[in-house]
Structure 1
Amino acid sequence: MNYRLAMLACTILAGAQPATAFAQTAGEEGASQGGIQDIVVTARRSEERLQDVPVAVTGYNQEQLAALDIQGFGDIGKTVPNLDVQRQFGSASAPQYYLRGVSTGTLKFEADAGIGLYIDGIYLGRPAGTAFDLADVERVEVLRGPQGTLFGRNSTGGAINFITAAPSGEFGVKAQGTVGNYDRYSGRITVNLPALGPFSARVSYLHDENRGYVDNLTPGRTFTFAEPFGTVTSAKTFGAENTDAFSAAVRFDGGAFTADYKFDYTDKVSTQLGQQLLGYDPSFTAGVGNPPFYTGAPGVFLPPSTTRRDALALDLTTASHLKIQGHSLTLAYDLSDDITIKSISGYRKLDEFVGGNDIDGGAYIVGGLPFTNISSIEDRHQKQFTQEVQLLGKMGNLDWVLGGFYFRETGRDNNPVFIGVLFPQGVTIVPRTTPTDGNTIDIFGVPSDYLAGADTSVRNKSIAGYAHLGYKTDAFEVAGGIRYTKDDRREVVRAAGLVPAFAPPGTYDVSFDHWDFDATATWIASSDIRAYARFATGYLSGGVLGGVEFRPETVKSYELGLKADLIDRTLRLNAAVFRSDRRNVQTLSFSASAGTFIISAPKARETGFELELTAQPSDNFSFNASYGYLDAKLADDPVAGPVASLAPKNTLSVGAQYDSPHFSNDSFLQFRVDGFLKDKRLSDPIVNAATASLTTLPSRFDINARLSLVDLPLGGTKAKISAWVQNLTNNKKLEFARNLSTNVIGNFQVPRTYGLDVGFEF
């Protein structure tokens, strides 16, 4: 409540100040001379118009981000073709991304993701910590298809880059407050400070909270575990969030030499959406002889249901506490008018106490003791350092980029998984690492609480060198690049699987290296129309998980694209067709008997089509649409059997915005509506006919709408007041499901939310 009052006070104070200077919006940067705005992107490591880049890329400026309510990585899947973002189980801070069929679904430090995620050009080693809000986002770029040359390993599906705002050097304040249903309270304030000689600075603060969407029938139950876990208390609701985020940017502009330092910090307390029991795996129930939680044992038991419940009984699901901080320093020196040397240094740190994760669908008491069919507790920490050096140059029709990259990461993840366990009361709960230590009481005959869990550390290193060369005339452009990458990975296993119950702890080291290439030919019909053909390779690092080595995943991609601004730049049409051939496809899965493990389909092929359309027939009306089609085929894993692609076959978004004529006070009404379609899709990578109906996600079409009064003179400044609604039709469909080889559990989407925004800018 103190945060809420502080933010509302900041908003009121901002509105009471006299108007001075208005900050430039991102949409003004690179604006065209009429018609549809140009978007600036850095898809080739230097700023260019999106329409000039021969890559399938979607870009958003600050105005578009606000209209779509995109504040972080978890929101980005709304309008990008062939991109799907889900909230999965296991962590409230672990969205799962699918881009052209490639996923970032792993929560394990031992395995990497196939989509490169970046903040201000700094690579994020752990996508499991990306469900956080950035306080001051200026623009977003989504590059589809392998980006193995310029963005490196682990971008077999593409790359997503968030760019935070730089200081303007002119005094300006922007503040916004939000109230909504489910006790939603949010506020943000950004202050641009006036330049002091060559120095300028910008600071932003964000607070966002809601009370959650599903009640817990068993709140306040307390369990005390041995360190590092401590005492945990079951949550009141599921889907709740309480976030504070801060960012700062400082720029030194010395003419030929510039230095940009950026800092972001997020402190987020949240709960998962709630693991609802959908059903049971019949092979498990037949083998364990009707365990107590099936027979109506004392406790709170809700029978399986595939319809979203407004209340669940999960007595071990607790709040998760995530802290993330990032530092970046970008130095650029112009050696001449055509040659620039650039250094990009980054340090990031992630600390997350996931807390208790109760996924058995009920709260049970057996013999007077709390019982869990399957649940876990987790404590995880990661830090990374990256250093990149680039030499960018131009000579006549030639331009080039030479670069070197270094990445080092360390992390520890302690995650026991309790299967068929009674928790002792009145004492500290000590997880069992062998059949005889610890004090949890086993019912199912599981030898330790780390059979399906793990206590491991990692140290990962990567070095790379790359070069990219382009030759451009008025009629055509050819470009190509090459990159060499070497990865060294180490896993230290203290407890996992049969370690240390029947096998000793161990340290495992593996190394891989790879060459990547890309080549593009572009035909420039005019300044507004161009077509391109692109070939690119990609590389997802191999590694070792539970002491078992797995091979790198590789991809070869073929793409044809068209980018066109038509009818006096009032119609923009971007299209691409593609085919990707992958080898040693890495997919992570989980079972109660094996824990997290790698499924390795020998090969996969994804073919598809993408279309993005923007129309602005008048100054008052605009329309946008995007469509993605994906046909994904994966070969069977030699051990696990059939492997399913979890990406939707069809994705569609449509949106329209109308700005009314201005009123006498120069304000105007703005109405926007957006619709988003996701096709029916699978949610479990291992094909299981007995539970497929439970783990198949239905198709859904969600509608968001916003009505705003813009540029309203108020208190010496101008205000924007918006009423908004998300999920207008109140869809309550299944968003994520998984067969855990015991229970089948799932998350349902967030119900209808609505609220009011009030913002000031001066």
Structure 2
Amino acid sequence: MKLRSIFYAGTAVTALFWQTGALAQSDVAAPSEAKSQDPTHSDIIVTARKRAESLQDVPISVTALNSEMIDRQNIVKIDQVGALTPNVNLAQGGVLPTMFTAYIRGIGNRSGNVAQSSPVALSVDGVYYSTVSGTLVDVFDVSQIEVLRGPQGTLQGRNAPGGAVNVTTRRPSGEYGMRWQLSYARFDQLQARVAVEAPIVANVLAVKLSGFYNNGGAFMNNLTIGRKNGGALNNWGGRLSVLFTPSPDLTAYLTVDYMKDRSEQPPNRPRPHAGSLGSNANGSFEPSPAVCTVFGYCSEYGKYETGSNFVTPASLKNFGTSLNVDWDIGGVALSSVTGYRDVKDNLRIDADALPVTALHFVNKPQRVEQFSQELRLASDGNGPLTYVVGAYYLNYSYKFFQQLELGGPLAGLPAGTSFLSSRESQERTHSFALFGQASYKITDSWSVSGGVRQTWDRKRLVATPRSPGPSQAFKTDFKNLSIEAGTEYRLDQDKLAYVRFSQGYRSGGFNEGGAFPTINVYKPEKVDSYELGLKTEWLDRRLKLNASAFQYAYKDMQIVTLTGSVAGNINRIINAKTTRIRGVELELVAAPTDNFNIRGTVGYLDARYPNQIVDLGTGPVNLRNVQKDNTPKWTASVGTDYTIDLGSDGSELQFAADLSYKSRFATNPNPTPIAIQDKYALLNASITYKMPDDRFAISIFGQNLTDKYYKVIGESGNNFFLWDTVGRPRTYGVKLSASF
């Protein structure tokens, strides 16, 4: 049965349950943004435990940004949130311009392979995204973003041992309204957003239509084609939202969204000569890659320069729909979250980034479909016992065909020739889970909690490593039981201490990147987490200070590496037997005056592999000597905003600035110099004039104001090529916004 048909069937079943009283939910509707728009004095409401709770009352490490914070920080894409969160690294993917790579407390995934799930779960309106394609979501008309740090093995869907990023869209208000934003920035970067809403039936049915458009922003000087490319956006999309509230106890929220993307490849810069890179941490020297020794391209490129001769844009069509039903039936709440996504993309990228055909992804069309259904039953929270129990089902499938063009000298053919290598694969996953979590108040100050989730995963693969050629079928099954337990104690009304033990699980899968001997099953990964936390408010809530300390014991962590061959570079997925991670986090929000706010975060992370020998694609390596990728020892941020009231009419002038810092870290698991990024800091700032009632506003903003040159990803390609993906240089622009 087609997944689209399954979605319609699931929607019909949900509608039937409305009438029979078999399902609903009230506790987890859209989180309230705040009691006021002041981010310091207000309570930010989060749904980290599948019920609406104040951020300061949740015994979990959570960073939440409401719509005002998102707008003030000039956040456009989801990856920008990482700079404001301790021990979190979010970035655009180095291969797919429509994906983001997420690392939380050192746990993450840099692979663009649709066969492998990310250990950081991304959900939009409660619907879990099963694929990395299309995860670099636009955050316009979003009410809140929550970043949950630590394993979320019981409640946050599947595959969340690292944590979760939950996005909640802004629901129709039931009134007539319109919002729009228009910005123009350096490198001819144009961004436009609009949202229009209206009531259809007063207090019963309301609709909203929102859309966005992004174009421009290329900042790499391509010396081969004579123009800038790399880093540019070319996409548009929209969302239709329908809110149905036939009674105060019943709410149904339906969204339908679509995005089309024709962005060029990420800003990849070739590093064809290894001699200037020095040696790695072990003292070994990185040899020159094949693009230098075989093709003769050995000259170093300058900052923000590339030489790509293949700049055909990738393409993406991302369609999705979700239905959230919330029903309070007195004493308990019933909920349903039904989701369907259909993602079609075609990756085209110059993997060597040089004016030579060494390795080009000339064509990689793929399609991903998923249908998910989650049902939950929750208590109303009025008694000493609160609970959430539920079931989750996912049907996920992908199919792709990959065609690579490789330079002839790589296979002993004459210079100037090339040949094509193709493969195709299709896989289907069925996942089912039962879960529950409960908390019991022993006294007014002391509570204990626990949770459990049982997961069953079934995967079926048909692969053709050499197309045309013989195919072979593979199948495997996994199951896991994850638990959570903790206790919390309220020292007083404004101070909460907690201890939490939690487990996380990421499904195993097929390493289907090459010939049949390389198609093996890699193991699931599991983590045991121990965390001690403190959430406090001081000085009549003008100062909030939260702290946590944690330690992870990781088993069978999945490591993605590259292996070079005449068939092209192949993603290899191996398991590290054990990994140990520990760290500390601090978050501060202060309001010295009503018009002056200060924010700060500090994260310390110590991630190490114990003694073990593995092959990372370049031969046996002792992981004890390898720096865990994307785990800077120190991360920090500090931000401030100051508002000046300009008169009795309500107009105001706001100054805002944010500084984020990362210490030295490796961008991929291979112990090579190209992977290392030294410590750096980024400074962003803005000045905004707001007219009375926030009807109109104009902002002048700047990002990376010190013009820091830094890399996001450094890739060795098993000595076939060297390239890095660099961050955007100094950018400045102007933004106009209006609200009616």
Correspondence for 2:14: none
Query: Is the CA contact (8 Å cut-off) linking 1:32 and 1:38 kept in structure 2?
Result: no
CA distance change for structure 1 residues 761 and 387 in 2, over 3 Å: closer, same or farther?
A: same
Q: Does residue 705 of structure 1 match 2:685?
A: yes
* The one of 297, 316, 329 aligned to 2:310: 316
Over 3 Å counting, the alpha-carbon distance change for 1:159 and 1:168 in structure 2 is same
The amino acid that maps onto 2:581 is: E
Aligned to 2:387: 400
Residue number in structure 1 paired with 2:580: 605
Residues 277, 303 of structure 1: 8 Å contact kept = no
The whole-number CA distance in structure 2 between the counterparts of 1:119 and 1:302 is 45
Deviations 1:229-275 (A, max 9, x none): xxxxxx96111112212012111112232211012211122112332
Find 2:41's aligned residue among 36, 39, 52.
36
- Asked whether the equivalents of residues 108 and 118 of structure 2 are also in contact (C-alpha less than 8 Å), the reply is yes
Question: How far is the alpha carbon of 1:442 from its aligned partner?
Answer: 4.7
Distance 1:670 1:740, change over 3 A: same
Cα displacement (A) at 1:171: 1.2
Matched, 1:566 2:538: yes
Q: Could you tell which deviates more after superposition, 641-650 or 182-191? A: 641-650
Aligned to 1:728: 705
Cα distance between partner residues in 1 of 2:661 and 2:504: 29
- How is 1:206-605 mapped onto 2 (pairs within 5 angstroms)? 206-219=212-225, 237-255=229-247, 256-280=249-273, 293-294=295-296, 303-305=299-301, 307-309=302-304, 311-336=305-330, 338-355=331-348, 357-364=349-356, 371-372=357-358, 376-394=362-380, 396-421=383-408, 442=413, 449-450=420-421, 454-472=423-441, 473-495=443-465, 504-546=470-512, 547-593=519-565, 595-605=570-580
Corresponding residue of 1:5: none
Question: Where does structure 1 lack aligned partners over 5 or more consecutive residues?
Answer: 1-24, 221-234, 295-300, 365-370, 424-434, 436-440
SS state at 1:743 partner: coil
Between the aligned partners of 1:182 and 1:523, the Cα distance in structure 2 is 52
Question: Would the alpha carbon gap of residues 610 and 328 (structure 1) be closer, same or farther in structure 2, given more than 3 Å must change?
Answer: same
2:20 aligns to what? none
- Which shows bigger deviation, 125-134 or 644-653? 125-134
Letter in 2 for 1:39: I
Offset of residue 375 of structure 1 = 5.1
Task: Name the CA distance, whole Å, in 2 between partners of 1:408 and 1:562.
Answer: 39
- The code of the aligned residue for 1:724 comes to F
Kept in 2: contact 1:106–1:112 (CA 8 A)? no
Query: What is the 5 A alignment of 1:160-171?
Result: 160-171=165-176
What one-letter code is carried by the residue in structure 1 that aligns with 2:440? Y
Which residue of the partner structure matches residue 92 of structure 2? Answer: 87
CA drift at 1:447: 12
TM-superposed CA distance for 1:192, in Å, is 2.1
Relative distance call for 1:32 and 1:189 in structure 2 (3 A) is closer
Amino acid in structure 1 at the alignment position of 2:318: I
The answer (yes or no) to whether the contact 1:26–1:62 under 8 Å persists in 2 is no
Change (3 A) 1:147 1:696: same
Q: How has the CA–CA distance of structure 1 residues 260 and 375 changed in structure 2, closer, same or farther, with 3 Å as cutoff?
A: closer
Letter of the aligned partner of 1:469 in structure 2?
Answer: A
Please list the CA deviations of residues 591-620 of structure 1 after superposition, one character each: whole Å capped at 9, or x if unmatched.
212611113110101100000000001101
Q: Distance in 2 between matches of 1:607 and 1:662?
A: 48
Q: Does the 8 Å contact 2:63/2:146 carry over to 1?
A: yes
Alignment of 1:731-742 (within 5 A): 731-741=708-718, 742=720
Partner Cα separation in structure 2 for residue 554 and residue 604 of structure 1: 10
Match of 2:516 in 1: none
Asked if structure 1 preserves the Cα contact closer than 8 Å seen for 2:423 and 2:465, the reply is yes
CA distance in 2, matches of 1:359, 1:219: 16
Deviation at 1:393, TM superposition (A): 1.2
Provide the C-alpha distance between the structure 1 equivalents of 2:168 and 2:695, rounded to a whole number of angstroms. 26
Which residue identity is paired with 2:560?
Answer: L
Matched, 1:694 2:696: no
Distance between the aligned counterparts of 1:109 and 1:203, measured in 2? 30
**8 Å contact from structure 1 (residues 331, 343) kept in 2:** yes
CA contact (8 A) 1:86 1:736 kept: no
Are residue 746 (structure 1) and residue 710 (structure 2) matched? no
One-letter identity of the residue aligned with 1:728:
L
Aligned residue number for residue 638 of structure 1? 614
Pick closer, same or farther for the CA change 1:410–1:26 going to 2, 3 Å.
closer
Quote the offset at 1:446 in angstroms.
Answer: 13
Select 1:172's aligned residue among 162, 172, 177: 177
SS state at 2:358 partner = strand
Query: Cα distance, 1:684 vs. partner?
Result: 2.6
2:632 alignment counterpart: 648
SS in 1 for 2:179: strand
Rounded Cα–Cα distance in structure 2 between residues aligned with 1:720 and 1:287: 52
- Contact map agreement 1:245 1:264 (CA 8 A) in 2: yes
Amino acid at match of 1:359: A
CA contact (8 A) 1:491 1:545 kept: no
Aligned in 2, Cα 1:375/1:246: closer, same or farther, shift over 3 Å? Answer: closer
CA shift for structure 1 position 143: 0.5
Q: Distance in 1 between matches of 2:594 and 2:288?
A: 66
- The CA RMSD measured in Å over matched residues stands at 2.7
1:680 to 661, 664, 670: 664
1:7-46, Cα deviation, whole Å (9 max, x unpaired): xxxxxxxxxxxxxxxxxx9986334999622111000001
Deviation at 1:445, TM superposition (A): 14
1:413–1:91 CA distance, 2 compared to 1 (3 A): same
Q: Per-residue deviation at 1:133? A: 1.3
CA distance in 2, matches of 1:313, 1:597: 27
Q: Deviations over 1:334-380 (max 9, x none)?
A: 222x211111100011111122x11224213xxxxxx4356553222
Q: Is residue 657 of structure 1 aligned with residue 641 of structure 2?
A: yes
For 2:688 and 2:739, how far apart are their aligned partners in 1? Answer: 15
Write the mapping of 1:57-206 to structure 2, written as runs, cut at 5 A. 57-197=62-202, 198-206=204-212
In structure 2, give the amino acid aligned to 1:81: P
Q: Is the 8 Å Cα contact of residues 504 and 527 (structure 2) preserved in structure 1? A: yes
Kept after mapping to 1: 8 A contact 2:80/2:91: no
Q: Distance in 2 between matches of 1:32 and 1:720?
A: 16
Shift in Å, 1:663: 2.1
CA shift at 1:422, angstroms?
Answer: 8.2
Matched residue type, 1:476: W
- What is the rounded CA distance, in whole Å, between the counterparts of 1:615 and 1:267 in structure 2? 41
Q: How many residues align?
A: 679
Shift of 1:444: 9.5
Structure 1 residues 446 and 558: alpha-carbon distance in aligned structure 2, compared to 1, 3 A threshold: farther
Q: Deviations over 1:553-585 (max 9, x none)?
A: 000000000000101000000110000111001
